[in-house]
Chain A
Amino acid sequence: QKEVEQNSGPLSVPEGAIASLNCTYSDRGSQSFFWYRQYSGKSPELIMSIYSNGDKEDGRFTAQLNKASQYVSLLIRDSQPSDSATYLCAVNEAGANSKLTFGKGITLSVRP
């Protein structure tokens, strides 16, 4: 059973702080990694994708991948109240468009 684990939340940070969200996965063959944001009652919205070890930055978001440690993280700089949502880590196996396995998600609350 391939697993994707996320820190138990919720995570609360003050406005302007850095929020750090972590995820580990069990399948060493995983090749593609994604962070989705999900507001309550809404669909997952893609925030970041990362495929290679290292960091990938997009605006206030940085995804970090370490395949040796089977670890992927998301940093949100200058957190805003509008960032308050559940963040889902998703991982897929190598090859064609096979299924994504999602973590349970971590709920982030940014305090004004």
Chain B
Amino acid sequence: EPEVTQTPSHQVTQMGQEVILRCVPISNHLYFYWYRQILGQKVEFLVSFYNNEISEKSEIFDDQFSVERPDGSNFTLKIRSTKLEDSAMYFCASSTPPGQSTHSPLHFGNGTRLTVT
């Protein structure tokens, strides 16, 4: 069964450094997302991406964050100047185009655990 793949599985970085989290969505999916989950807390929406542009973003997704689809398969999340509170599990997800009024289910990758020291 096709799956969303994320690399690396664990990233340790020092405060102030830049990190890039990588994702390969399912090949026939057209919508891409990043979510994060701080340990013990809710899964939180960061950003959605469609047709090579951001379609929606949350308050969390400030100027520190950016997303890119550099080629036909990868989808990346860049975090500039990381802070301690950026430590979390970051999940990439993808979905097919929606039905007439319904949301297509998200398929999540296994996540990247980001630790900022």
**One of B14-22, B73-81, B100-108 contacting the partner:** B100-108
B44 near A102 with CB under 8 A, answer: yes
B108 near A43 with CB under 8 A, answer: yes
Q: Is A20 located at the chain interface by the 8 A CB criterion?
A: no
B98 near A44 with CB under 8 A, answer: no
A31 near B43 with CB under 8 A, answer: no
Q: Is A46 located at the chain interface by the 8 A CB criterion?
A: yes
**One of A7-15, A58-66, A77-85, A92-100 contacting the partner:** A92-100
Chain B residues positioned under 8 Å from A101 (CB to CB): 45
Chain A residues positioned under 8 Å from B91 (CB to CB): 43-44
A88 to B109, CA, bound (A): 16
- Number of A residues near B (Cβ < 8 Å) is 25
Q: Is A55 located at the chain interface by the 8 A CB criterion?
A: no
Contact of A43 among B50, B55, B111 (CB under 8 A): B111
Question: Which of A96, A101, A102 has the most C-beta atoms of chain B within 10 angstroms of its own C-beta?
Answer: A96
B97 near A102 with CB under 8 A, answer: no
Q: Is A104 located at the chain interface by the 8 A CB criterion?
A: yes
- Number of B residues near A (Cβ < 8 Å) is 27
Q: Is B115 located at the chain interface by the 8 A CB criterion?
A: no
Q: Across the A-B interface, how many residue pairs have beta carbons closer than 8 Å?
A: 60
With A44-B43, A88-B43, A104-B41 known to touch, is A98 a contact of B109 (CB < 8 Å)?
no
Chain A residues positioned under 8 Å from B102 (CB to CB): 31-32, 51
A102 to B38, CA, bound (A): 13
A99 near B56 with CB under 8 A, answer: yes
User: Which of chain A's residues has its CB closest to B92's CB?
Assistant: A43
Residues of A within 8 A of B (CB): 31-32, 34, 42-46, 49, 51, 88, 90, 92, 94-105
Residues of B within 8 A of A (CB): 31, 33, 41-45, 48, 50, 55-56, 58, 91, 95, 97-98, 101-111
Q: What are 5 A-to-B residue pairs whose CB atoms are below 8 Å?
A: A32-B102, A42-B111, A43-B111, A90-B43, A104-B41
For the complex with contacts A46-B105, A49-B105, 8 further pairs of A-B residues with Cβ separation under 8 Å are: A43-B108, A44-B91, A97-B48, A97-B55, A98-B56, A99-B33, A102-B43, A102-B44
